[in-house]
Amino acid sequence: MEQDQHAPLREDVRWLGELLGHTLREQVGENLYETVERIRLAAVETRSNDEMSVARLRALLDPLEDDALLEVARAFSQFLNLANIAEQHHRERLHRQHQRYPGDPDSDQGLRNVLERLSARQVSAQTVRDTLTDLSVELVLTAHPTEVTRRTLIRKYDQMADLLTESDRPDLTGEERQRLEQRLRELIISAWSTDEIRRERPTPVDEAKWGFATIEQSLWRAVPDFMRQLDEELQQAGLPSPPADWVPVRLASWMGGDRDGNPNVTAAVTREVLLLARWMAADLYLRDVENLLADLSMHRASDELLARTGPSHEPYRVVLRDVRDRLKVTRRRMEALVEERPVPDGEGFLNGAQLRDELRLLDRSLRAVGLESIANGQLKDTLRRLSCFGITLLCLDVRQESGRHADTVDAITRYLELGSYLEWDEAERQRFLLTELENRRPLVDDLFYQSELCDPQVREVLDTCKVIAEQGPEGLGAYVISMAHAPSDVLAVMLLQKIAGVTRPMRVVPLFETLDDLDNAGETMSALLSIPFYRERVKGGQEVMIGYSDSAKDAGFLGAAWAQFRAQEKLTALFREHGIPLTLFHGRGGSISRGGSPTRMALLSQPSGSVAGRIRVTEQGEVIRFKYGRPSVAAFNLEQYVAATLEATLLPPREPQPQWREQMEKLTRVSVEGYRQVVRDDPALVRYLRTVTPETELSRLALGSRPARRKSDGGIESLRAIPWVFAWTQIRLMLPAWLGTGAALEAALQDQSDTDQVREMASHWPFFQGVVDMLEMVLAKADSRVAAWYEERLTDDADLMRLGDSLRQRLAGTVEALGRLTGRGDLLDNNPVMRWSIRVRDPYTDPLHLLQAELMARLRDRDSDRVLESALMVTIAGIAAGLRNTG
């Protein structure tokens, strides 16, 4: 059965591979094609024979000239991208056929399955309906630089995927299939003829436009599609239909608002992005209204509508023409504001309620006169889009580091001759901040902005708050404080908004991201809630962000995961005690070491009660393209979030038993010690990272607008979590995802009672199940032999070779310990499709790894070389495609 189910995937991979082979012959000649084939066959041998085949593979690569290295790298990289297209298409195919994709925990866990489980557990229909009605899932698109593929190539790949979908049609004629194959061939040639590498680093505005394009090309269609699927599932389950404009999902963004460590994000950039988002929203709604004008030609109308339009044979079009004119005015006004021209006259839409009122008027009329089926068509889609995207397209968060706020308040207190805020203790800071928050008078005058104390960094913080005041609340989301440590960090941002004249402040969200800050998160928020002023301010709800990336970089994967779990437990209990709704904002990345995991697994591994119908999650980098780049895939993933949030709310995971908690404490003590023993205490690690991995070379890749380092001359602590993970992923060591965890498992498995307990946890505790499953998936992609290739080519330093050998031994120990825990003889014995996916890619990634090491060595002997640099960038992108992961 499985053979038949996945035969189409293997056929698509073979088909695309053959077309790429034809392209190579045609575009670069038979000689290069034969070279690529010899290298591929040698790579296959490498995976099945001894080290002699590695020598053979290297012997094929070493003599190649620089130009040939570039073409070989491009060939292998291109195949891996084509394999990804085929695999993603196969997932879509099985989803359309309501078949499960083996090994994907989310593939058979849609809303239908959750509703069936709720019914079996005798959860009442009213409870389900009420929970769904209040459900809130907010996905926050971020510009973290992990998308290595150029947008122009993404468009070509999407067109290829469309053609694969077309090829599945059972009624396709021979001529149609021939034309389809010709078009597919043209697209592969076009992709081959396109530079894979982004040559110019994007600006924050470019990144925001990329996010807008994802909405325009995919999510704009996916949202109503997924809502129609929800309607069908609710109807099938006998549940009443929700309101016409109900949408449980919202979209937000950090693109153009995340200034933490990114000097390129300024107040002017944030203002421009907000205006461009409103321009795009007006343009998209204008397209919807044009379609509605074509459809709503009927004359039957309610008295309410006719009272608005007067006697008319086409009253719906009367209203829609007015809406169209106002949207055009809105769009022109946004254009003028972006271009700093005089704003044109005319009445546009100032807020979403104005547009919603117009559309609801039409909806009520259609239903009143018996045209409910018309109301449930395109008009309902537009109403749902408005509920999801608003009139601002998405809500923009602002993020800034806590120290920048403290510096700004310090400048103010010194200007007022009150002393240095930075020198005050926490109690004194809180007294000052609370006094000024409750004081009606202005705190600073215009002279402050002209003083030396208002330096460019201070002015930038205050200018950002002025933008918040200017733009109003509708297009703004959360003000996130990274590196939040104390209550004063939150109160300071509240005061800075007050100083700028913000009348409806952004909600202030502390981000707890280091191990110590996560451990102290409950205490920090408890101190804030003990302040009557603050408790009154947040009585409608509090949001707290949990950091995954920096906590894992600080303490390792296992230590961070347990700290995140404990912090959420404490926060959930605290806010339940105070009767204040809590939304936990999960700052997840794509890689396992940065919190990445399948949706259902991620939500059901959270502490019981922590979801409670409300969830906020970042979607980063290449994950945005994989999960939301195509409408059908986006609709599927949106449904997964709703289904998993509903399940986690009404069927929460079991509480961990006391002995499990004790075991986790033991495991994480060993894990954190083992992780820090290498990362913090071994002086060779920084040199190893910069010598054996392409960490230094990654800065040449124009991935995003944000610098890779917080400080150009810093060590590991200054390196951002994304390049930290990206560098280890490129050499297949995957160190951030397992270092320390293996030592913890090995220690536990030395004692039979501990062994029994850990196995019990892996079988019955969703949190620990998730840890084990994700560890198994990442270890399946790790390969110590590949890492050794880099080391052999790039260093003869005895200290680095000692460290490399130690790391590979630790990796082997982790794999062995995991096998003993799960009882499986081989990684992914329970996931044959993923195992096949990795194996089919290995003959293409192996040459890229060897090429990358060779290119790094050659480039380090030269000041610069455009061809070699291009080839190196291609290998980075190709390996990322092969592993379907960067950072």
Query: Which amino acids are annotated catalytic?
Result: 144, 553
CA–CA separation, 347 vs 52, rounded Å?
76
Bridge partners of 586, per DSSP, are 546, 617
What is the phi/psi pair of residue 615, to 5°? Answer: -150, 145
Bridge partners of 544, per DSSP, are 584
**DSSP designation for 611:** S
**DSSP designation for 97:** T
Amino acid 653 reads P
CA–CA separation, 332 vs 343, rounded Å?
8
User: Where do runs of H (alpha helix) occur along 579-699?
Assistant: 599-604, 622-628, 631-650, 658-679, 684-692, 695-698
Lookup: tokens for 231: 């309607």
Cβ neighbours of residue 157 under 8 Å, at least 6 residues apart? 81, 84, 85, 149, 191
Q: 857 with 794: CB under 8 angstroms? A: yes
Q: 609 with 569: CB under 8 angstroms? A: no
Find the helix packing angle between 174-192 and 66-96, rounded to 10°: 140
Nearest one of 564, 618, 248, 603 to 397, comparing CA atoms = 618
Taking CB atoms within 8 Å and a gap of at least 24, the contacts of 24-33 are 24/75, 24/192, 26/189, 27/189, 27/192, 27/193, 28/71, 32/68, 32/71, 32/72, 32/75
For residue 536, count other CB atoms closer than 10 A to its CB.
Answer: 9
Residue 5 burial by Cβ neighbours in a 10 Å radius (0-12, 13-18, 19+): middle
CA 423, 427, 428, 429: dihedral to nearest 10 degrees?
Answer: 70
Instruction: Give residue for tokens 């536990």.
Output: 748
For residue 286, count other CB atoms closer than 10 A to its CB.
Answer: 16
Bridge partners of 617, per DSSP, are 139, 586
User: Where do runs of H (alpha helix) occur along 260-379?
Assistant: 267-295, 303-309, 315-338, 352-368, 372-374
CA–CA separation, 568 vs 566, rounded Å?
5
**DSSP designation for 71:** H
What is the phi/psi pair of residue 863, to 5°? Answer: -70, -45
User: Where do runs of H (alpha helix) occur along 375-425?
Assistant: 380-389, 402-415
Nearest one of 60, 61, 57 to 49, comparing CA atoms = 57
Lookup: tokens for 343: 């704003």
